[in-house]
Amino acid sequence: MSTAVTTSEAARGGPGPGCAAPRHVAVIMDGNGRWAAQRGLPRREGHRRGVEALRRTVRAAGALGIGILTIFSFSSENWSRPPSEISDLMGLLRRFIRNDLVDLHKSNVKVRVIGERTTLSPDIAGLLREAEDLTRANTGLVLVVAFNYGSRQEIARAAQRLAAEVAAGRLAPEAITAELISSRLDAPDIPDPDLIIRTSGEQRLSNFLLWQAAYSELVFVPLYWPEFDQAALEGAIAEYRRRERRFGGLAAAGAGT
């Protein structure tokens, strides 16, 4: 069962007897617009403050020893938003890469990008490629940026790749397994997330990492994304560590289902 966590739980909810610390944390960064609306500010200010929260979270992830941080930065459904908002979001992406990429590189952060790139404008696709190329050899925190990403679309792309192999006679249909599908996803070498956090109190995945989330722990935080900080991340991790992950098995001999 998913649980909403407040930031105050970070102080009192230290490591419990359940899970070890998560290696891979994924975040649905939700609530920029509502944060701004509550304060009578334009939505673009909410998105700008959301970038500041992202900077804090990347630093916190490194400080807490998280190996992989995946962020849902722009979904394939976000193109339906007003053109002015999309323009603001693309501008923030450009500024983030231009202003923060050097610092990420100096901090040994490795950037990976998942999502559909063939439909992106050349300048945006080029910036994403630049971020990956510059940091490719880094060995610290892996920052996975889900951009123009939708999980159903990712699974469809994997199915298309396998279908092409079947049509070419290189693969028998009965040879297709869950493991083979996983190997055709956007980043097959990245392990599945141990913990998925969603801010703003909404309790759904919204087409994010549906395949990879099969056994992820879900924590829903009632803060809007611009309010998210290291204390909130620590609180979500503390909740995660209180749980027992059984992966469909039993926690211990004689335990119930």
Active-site annotation, residues:
30, 78
Distance, CA of 98 to CA of 115 (rounded, Å): 21
H or E element that contains 182: helix 178-182
Distance, CA of 129 to CA of 242 (rounded, Å): 39
Distance, CA of 27 to CA of 15 (rounded, Å): 20
Distance, CA of 146 to CA of 137 (rounded, Å): 20
Residues 70, 225, 195: CA angle, nearest 5 degrees: 35
3-state secondary structure 70-120: EEEEEECCHHHCCHHHHHHHHHHHHHHHHHHHHHHHHCCCEEEEECCCCCC
Residues 196, 247, 161: CA angle, nearest 5 degrees: 70
Q: Which two tokens stand for residue 223?
A: 């803060």
